[in-house]
């Protein structure tokens, strides 16, 4: 036995797992010995070996894992089925590290599928079963095979909801979505039973599946299934168990976004679907669908229909997911309204804030700060019609409507806030550089909503602000404010700032701002709470970067490769896309 082999055995016996894992990474003989210890009759040595192997696999290059995959997977599957819970936990973790990023041949897929099924059916300790979902998320196949489809079909036919969830996860893994509605129809119909019971891990697993498929475009063939699932998810968000409430709220918002995109410019079709739901007495589904569509006309019509059907007790407001609280602002917050944004010298302008607005206004007639009743009615009419042209024409003719939109954001109920956000987003899109200055009064309330916990409102606010920036004379102030949030390190400020920059950099390569953002982006890619939004920002940066500037992103390549192997499925997909986009501009950056 060589010195390294003796050292490995010593490390394992003394519980020095990290040192053992580091030793085997560069030593073929030590790795072979470590794998042999998986069969040890000494339970402590076996446990130490599987722990060290799991740590080593996390850092092992793909080509090295591929070489040992088949024989190692068989050994780890055998360990995962042992009765001592400690060994199966680490064996399952090692399996996840082994297969991440590597497709399995059909034979290995079938073996792993049967093993995981047996673990679930044996009703093992929940701590063991919690290690299964991360494995399922990473299972891929080298090529389609009847044996693979047979395993999945059997799982989907099972009476055990956890096994059906496994089957659905594997089906989504091996099937590329090509627009065929049958795949998503199966997914949305199967997932319903998984989110209505008391099984919290199963519900969490199903919510993750929904989060993934909510990105796909909806089709008429399964819109009914989506509507039903949305109501079930909102029930969880509004009154479900605390463990799943936050994730359910995120999933509900994603489903609402998907439904909104589907019915965009088709309010009459939405109204017919809602009418069908009302006829079938699926009242909460009708309300949730109307809220998702977000059309003022549809919501107003639904309220009248519910009243006509004597269902007034079914209040639409009660189905709106909780959003930011707007208590009366303290005196210092009121004072802040008249102050300029904090100054960052590289980004500031000589003249900012309401002074700039009033200078522009002063060139024509003095405009009252608050609109009269007639103007308010005109604004309501423009919003209700949903016609952007009418809204834009009114704002140019009577800029004081912006103060009414500001009031709605600060003092209005949820519907008024949603109306104001919609109106401001459309004005930000339509107004050009000569008249975007009129939106200035709304910037403060938009910034306030941008820091809130209501994701839909926050997204709409940051997207609107990002649209305003290139057009408005006070655009640098907005960027400066978000940079301050970004540099603060406070996650509650960092996340909305990343959301802002992910929109801002889609159409703009602002090198001064880019360099500031890049200065801490690696740090935010490290943190789980900011990683996804940091990836979206990096994706936007790669897309807008000129070819000659793409080298600025070189420090992020290795981190992206690490995320591609170890992060959540959504983050892995983003990392892969970003690496591909970098390679399209400079293959040399990602070649090593």
Q: Which helix (H) or strand (E) holds 383?
A: helix 373-385
Looking at residue 217, what DSSP letter applies?
P
pLDDT for 207-260, tens place per residue? Answer: 999 988 888 888 888 999 999 999 999 999 888 888 888 889 889 989 998 998
| H-assigned helices in 387-527 | 388-397, 401-411, 414-430, 443-450, 455-468, 475-488, 491-507, 511-526
52, 20 contact by CB (below 8 A): yes
For 140, the 3-state DSSP assignment is coil
Q: What is the pLDDT of residue 366?
A: 40
Per-state percent for the chain, helix, strand, coil, to nearest 5? 75, 0, 25
In this structure, is residue 61 part of a structural domain?
no
Question: What percent of the chain clears pLDDT 70, i.e. is strictly above it?
Answer: 89
User: Is pLDDT at 196 greater than 50 in this prediction?
Assistant: yes
Rounded CA separation 144/250 (Å): 33
In this structure, is residue 97 part of a structural domain?
no
For 507, the 3-state DSSP assignment is helix
In this structure, is residue 42 part of a structural domain?
no
- As a three-state string, the secondary structure of 265-297 is CCHHHHHHHHHHHHHCCCHHHHHHHHHHHCCHH
In this structure, is residue 141 part of a structural domain?
no
User: Is pLDDT at 356 greater than 50 in this prediction?
Assistant: no
Number of domains in the chain: 1
Buried b / exposed e along 434-457 (16+ C-beta atoms within 10 A): ebbbbbbbbbbbbbbbbbbebbbb
In this structure, is residue 260 part of a structural domain?
yes
Q: Which residues pair with 141 in a beta bridge?
A: 104
Residue range(s) defining the domain that contains residue 237: 195-294
Q: What is the pLDDT of residue 178?
A: 67
Supply 531's token pair. 């990683």
Gyration radius (Cα) of the chain, Å? 28
Supply 298's token pair. 């549809």
296, 383 contact by CB (below 8 A): yes
Rounded CA separation 153/149 (Å): 6
Looking at residue 392, what DSSP letter applies?
H
Q: What is the pLDDT of residue 313?
A: 63
In this structure, is residue 285 part of a structural domain?
yes
- Residue 401 vs residues 371, 434, 455: alpha-carbon distances, Å: 6, 18, 26
> In terms of Cα–Cα distance, which of 282, 276, 336 is closest to 314?
282
Rounded CA separation 370/402 (Å): 9
> In terms of Cα–Cα distance, which of 82, 84, 115 is closest to 99?
115
505, 541 contact by CB (below 8 A): yes
Per-residue pLDDT band for 54 (boundaries 50, 70, 90) equals very high
For 53, the 3-state DSSP assignment is helix
Rounded CA separation 412/326 (Å): 9
Q: What is the pLDDT of residue 114?
A: 94
In this structure, is residue 27 part of a structural domain?
no
Supply 489's token pair. 């390190």
Chain centroid offset of residue 124 CA: 31
Q: 268: number of CA atoms within 13 Å, CB side?
A: 0
Tally the residues of the chain: 592
Per-residue pLDDT band for 344 (boundaries 50, 70, 90) equals very low
User: Is pLDDT at 158 greater than 80 in this prediction?
Assistant: yes
- Residue 190 vs residues 168, 210, 403: alpha-carbon distances, Å: 8, 11, 48
- Residue 274 vs residues 51, 286, 451: alpha-carbon distances, Å: 55, 5, 33
Segment 178-201 mean pLDDT: 86
Segment 421-439 mean pLDDT: 89
Looking at residue 316, what DSSP letter applies?
G
pLDDT for 468-504, tens place per residue? Answer: 999 888 888 899 899 999 998 888 899 999 999 998 9
User: Is pLDDT at 342 greater than 70 in this prediction?
Assistant: no
Q: What is the pLDDT of residue 312?
A: 59
Rounded CA separation 70/34 (Å): 16
In this structure, is residue 247 part of a structural domain?
yes
Supply 418's token pair. 């949603």
User: Is pLDDT at 368 greater than 50 in this prediction?
Assistant: no
Supply 428's token pair. 């930000």
Q: 368: number of CA atoms within 13 Å, CB side?
A: 7
Highest-scoring range by mean pLDDT, 111-115, 173-177, 408-412, 420-424: 111-115
Per-residue pLDDT band for 326 (boundaries 50, 70, 90) equals very low
């Amino acid at each position: 036995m060589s010195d390294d082999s003796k050292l490995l055995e010593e490390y394992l016996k003394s519980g020095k797992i990290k040192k053992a894992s580091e030793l085997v990474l560069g030593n073929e003989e030590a790795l072979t010995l470590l794998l042999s210890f998986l069969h040890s009759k000494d339970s402590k040595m076996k446990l130490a070996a599987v722990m060290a192997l799991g740590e080593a696999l996390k850092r092992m290059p793909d080509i090295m894992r591929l070489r040992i995959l088949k024989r190692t997977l068989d050994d780890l599957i055998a360990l995962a089925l042992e009765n001592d819970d400690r060994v199966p936990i680490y064996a399952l973790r090692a399996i996840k590290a082994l297969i991440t990023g590597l497709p399995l041949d059909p034979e290995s897929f079938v073996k792993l599928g049967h093993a995981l099924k047996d673990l679930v059916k044996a009703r093992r300790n929940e701590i063991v079963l919690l290690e299964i979902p991360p494995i399922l998320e990473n299972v891929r196949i080298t090529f389609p095979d009847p044996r693979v489809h047979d395993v999945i079909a059997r799982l989907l036919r099972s009476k055990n909801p956890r096994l059906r969830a496994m089957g659905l996860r594997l089906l989504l893994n091996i099937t590329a979505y090509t627009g065929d509605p049958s795949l998503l129809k199966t997914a949305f119909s199967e997932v319903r039973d998984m989110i209505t019971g008391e099984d919290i891990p199963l519900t969490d697993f199903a919510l993750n599946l929904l989060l993934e498929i909510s990105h796909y475009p909806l089709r008429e063939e399964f819109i009914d299934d989506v509507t039903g699932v949305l109501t079930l998810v909102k029930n969880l968000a509004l009154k479900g168990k605390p463990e799943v409430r936050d994730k359910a709220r995120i999933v509900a918002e994603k489903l609402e976004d998907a439904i909104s995109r589907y019915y965009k410019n088709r309010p009459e079709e939405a109204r017919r679907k809602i009418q069908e739901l009302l006829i079938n007495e699926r009242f909460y589904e009708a309300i949730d669908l109307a809220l998702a569509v977000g059309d003022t006309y549809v919501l107003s019509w639904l309220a009248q229909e519910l009243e006509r059907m004597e269902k007034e007790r079914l209040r639409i407001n009660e189905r709106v997911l909780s959003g930011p609280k707007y208590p009366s602002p303290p005196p210092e917050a009121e004072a802040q309204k008249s102050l300029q944004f904090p100054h960052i010298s590289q980004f500031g302008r000589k003249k900012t804030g309401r002074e700039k607005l009033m200078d522009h206004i002063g060139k024509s007639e003095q405009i009252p700060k608050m609109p009269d009743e007639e103007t308010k009615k005109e604004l309501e009419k423009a919003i209700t019609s949903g016609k952007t042209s009418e809204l834009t024409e009114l704002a140019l003719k009577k800029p004081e409507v912006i103060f009414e939109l500001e009031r709605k954001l600060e003092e209005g109920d949820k519907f008024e806030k949603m109306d104001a956000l919609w109106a401001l987003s459309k004005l930000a899109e339509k107004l050009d550089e000569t008249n975007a200055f009129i939106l200035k009064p709304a910037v403060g309330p938009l910034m306030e909503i941008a820091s809130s916990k209501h994701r839909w409102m926050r997204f709409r606010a940051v997207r609107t602000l990002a649209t305003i920036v290139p057009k408005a004379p006070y655009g640098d102030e907005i960027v400066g404010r978000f940079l301050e949030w970004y540099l603060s390190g406070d996650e509650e400020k960092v996340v909305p700032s990343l959301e802002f920059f992910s929109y801002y950099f889609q159409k703009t390569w602002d090198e001064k701002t880019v360099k500031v953002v890049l200065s801490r982006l690696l740090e935010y890619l490290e943190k789980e709470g900011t990683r996804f939004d940091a990836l979206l920002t990096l994706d936007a940066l790669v897309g807008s970067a000129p070819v000659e500037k793409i080298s600025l992103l070189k420090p992020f390549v290795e981190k992206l490769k690490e995320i591609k192997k170890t992060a959540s499925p959504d983050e892995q997909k983003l990392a892969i896309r970003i690496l591909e986009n970098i390679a399209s501009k400079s293959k040399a950056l990602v070649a090593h």
